[in-house]
Amino acid sequence: MNAPKIMVVEDEESLGILLSYNLEAEGFEVEVVTRGDEAETRLQENVPDLLILDWMLPALSGIELCRRLRKGSETERLPIIMLTARGEEGDRVRGLSSGADDYLVKPFSTPELLARVRALLRRAKPEVLSSVLRAGDIVLDREAHRVFRAQTEIRLGPTEYRLLEFLMQNPGRVFSRSQLLDKVWGDAVYIDERTVDVHVGRLRKAINRSGPDAIRTVRGAGYALGKDRP
């Protein structure tokens, strides 16, 4: 199963970047569009699993786009979270009456947004929040806590498992040792960065028994799972 796709329609560039960074870190595939009319065109070509839609947009407002989407057969059930500015209380109601499933008032916290995204997906598209991660021929089942490569089960220690899970959530992305320490070990512990190399080495040894080297070492930068991200 591929990562769930989210389209963010937001004309504030910095917010668009922040949202896409955080959603990608959670394992979503993200496309950011800055204009309402552009979003409408893209949505006719490609319907994501969820849409995050700003209210005030150039060319075509979020509210109008939402109304139009609800009339289209491909998009009538598309999960939509509307973003509104603080103080537009009346607008919020209009936002929901235009067909949005949920709304968030700016400024909002990233954990709040992520929680709303997950809640809406669970409600509207539970199949996309699968507990099984796949990367090439590697399969990680979070519920069963088991890992397979080319149908062969791979036994991993707890740290190697968490490391693989994290890399599989972000296939192709390069992480530095300090980023991995932060994300996999947590920032509360003090561990030497060379420890990361030790665990990557163990993980590599375990998963490469059943196939070619799945982990890329990027000199001076860190590690990534699989191929380069396009």
Q: 92 or 199: whose CB is closer to Ca ion?
A: 92
> Looking only at residues 169 through 198 of this chain, which bind Ca ion when binding is defined by CB under 5 A?
none
Does residue number 15 form part of the binding site for Ca ion (CB under 5 A)?
no
Cβ atoms of 214 and 139 closer than 8 Å? no
User: Cα(93)–Cα(224) distance, rounded to whole angstroms?
Assistant: 44
For tokens 């375990």, name the residue: 206
Nearest distance from C-beta of residue 18 to Ca ion, angstroms: 14
Cβ atoms of 91 and 104 closer than 8 Å? no
Q: 84 or 169: whose CB is closer to Ca ion?
A: 84
Does residue number 11 form part of the binding site for Ca ion (CB under 5 A)?
yes
Q: 11 or 31: whose CB is closer to Ca ion?
A: 11
Nearest distance from C-beta of residue 57 to Ca ion, angstroms: 6
> Looking only at residues 34 through 93 of this chain, which bind Ca ion when binding is defined by CB under 5 A?
54, 56
End-to-end alpha carbon distance in the chain: 19
Cβ atoms of 5 and 29 closer than 8 Å? yes
Nearest distance from C-beta of residue 202 to Ca ion, angstroms: 47
User: Cα(169)–Cα(157) distance, rounded to whole angstroms?
Assistant: 18
Does residue number 215 form part of the binding site for Ca ion (CB under 5 A)?
no
Q: 18 or 56: whose CB is closer to Ca ion?
A: 56
